[in-house]
Amino acid sequence: MVVGMVKGSPAVSEPTYFILAALLDGPLHGHGIIKHVLGLSEGRVKLPVGTLYGALDRLAAKGLIAVEREEVVEGRPRRYFRLTDDGRALVTAEARRMQQAASVVTSRVLPGSAFT
């Protein structure tokens, strides 16, 4: 009975979440994603290549992203990925979930900011 899968736990991890988020702004190739994620996360999330390409494979296998096109720029191959509708829906749902999760804590510990 595999059916459910709903399960409640995060469908994607933080690195994966940011990959999807980066693609909201349009198709990007691997290294482009790394740089874009760095910007989106305000320098916090530096995707290691091993993480990136592993995640891209899994996301594509799940149909959350797809290969948009492949180019060769100055002899170097570039594979551009785009978000699918499923991917867009998922990253949006994740954002909402994170917002709710964050509020669980913020509403308790920092109604003002009495901390640190």
Partner DNA sequence: GACCATACTTCGCCGCACGAAGTATGGTCA
Partner DNA sequence: TGACCATACTTCGTGCGGCGAAGTATGGTC
N- to C-terminal Cα separation, the chain: 47
**Which residue, 24 or 54, is less far from DNA as judged by CB?**
54
Among 26, 39, 54, 63, binds DNA (CB under 7 A): 54
* Angle, alpha carbons 78-34-5 (nearest 5°): 100
**Which residue, 67 or 89, is less far from a second copy as judged by CB?**
89
What is the binding site for DNA (CB under 7 A)?
7-9, 12-13, 15-16, 29-32, 47-56, 58, 73-79
